[in-house]
């Protein structure tokens, strides 16, 4: 399970195995503790939501102040629900990487950041090579196996062995609420689809199986098990809020080598 933290009124989640490694500072935000107002109240990180850039940047500063990630070192995605993985370097700091749905880095100077409001956040930590990754795994990205692509990019760029990876599946829409049309359901194996009035897809199970197939050990995978639609009091949910919502952020930064 993920751990819920409440510091100075800012609520955010961390991954115990990642914290225990002492290799990273990280967080998955909630909607609680920021300065945004209206439909994005109060901890919105979405630049494309009904909010101001000033509010978003202040929210980043607030989150960074409690989780230890440097808000001035962020490399961010500009997501397209695809499967592109970008290797982040200090030269990317302050940028939103066009078309990227995943980021990897082995440089402590760069803090990586991805955005969510129901899609599945995936966290990766190579404890041996000291490299990290974040992936935004919505249904299209999941169908394209962005989990495997992110691990593959870490292997290519840093020599990562999947058996050295700690991985985590963050809060996102659960099978209870992920109702889809039949053409979407057809993109997934039947074992991940349950039928009600319409098909429902279990994205958590899909991505876990993708991680295992890519070589991550089962005991190295942490699952939050938290549905963003079921818990709208703490999470933004695009479906649950009928599109009138904000965005959460996953942030991670390597600690400096000792």
Q: Which of 64, 36, 44, 100 is nearest to 238 (CA)?
A: 44
Q: Where are the domains of the chain?
A: 3-172+217-254
Q: What is the pLDDT of residues 104-120, one digit of tens each?
A: 999 999 999 999 999 99
Token pair 């935004």 is found at 136
Alpha carbon 182 to its chain's center: 26
Fold of 3-172+217-254: 3.60.140
Predicted model pTM: 0.98
* 121, 115 contact by CB (below 8 A): no
Alpha carbon 174 to its chain's center: 15
Q: What is the pLDDT of residue 196?
A: 87
Q: What is the pLDDT of residues 207-254, one digit of tens each?
A: 999 999 999 999 999 999 999 999 999 999 999 999 999 999 999 999
Helices 203-213 and 146-158 sit at what angle, rounded to 10 degrees?
30
């Amino acid at each position: 399970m993920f751990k819920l933290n409440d510091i100075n009124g800012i609520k955010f989640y961390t991954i115990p195995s990642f914290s225990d490694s002492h290799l990273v500072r990280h967080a998955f935000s909630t909607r609680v503790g920021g300065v945004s107002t209206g439909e994005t109240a109060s901890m919105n990180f979405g630049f494309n939501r009904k909010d101001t850039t000033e509010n978003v940047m202040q929210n980043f500063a607030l989150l960074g102040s409690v989780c230890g990630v440097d808000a001035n070192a962020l490399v961010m995605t500009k997501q397209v629900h695809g499967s592109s993985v970008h290797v982040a370097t200090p030269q990317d700091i302050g940028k939103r990487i066009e078309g990227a749905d995943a980021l990897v880095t082995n440089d402590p100077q760069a803090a990586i950041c991805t955005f969510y409001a129901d899609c599945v956040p995936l966290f990766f930590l190579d404890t041996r090579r000291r490299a990290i990754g974040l992936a935004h795994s919505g249904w299209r990205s999941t169908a394209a196996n962005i989990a495997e692509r992110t691990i593959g990019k870490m292997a290519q760029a840093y020599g990562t062995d999947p058996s050295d990876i700690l991985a985590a599946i963050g809060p996102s829409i659960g099978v209870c609420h992920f109702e889809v049309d039949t053409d979407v359901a057809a993109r997934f194996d039947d074992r991940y689809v349950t039928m009600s009035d319409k098909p429902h897809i279990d994205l958590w199970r899909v991505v876990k199986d993708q991680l295992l197939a890519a070589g991550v050990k089962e005991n190295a995978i942490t699952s939050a098990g938290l549905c963003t639609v079921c818990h709208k009091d703490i999470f933004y949910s695009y479906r649950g809020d009928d599109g009138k919502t904000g965005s959460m952020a996953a942030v991670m930064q390597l600690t400096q080598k000792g």
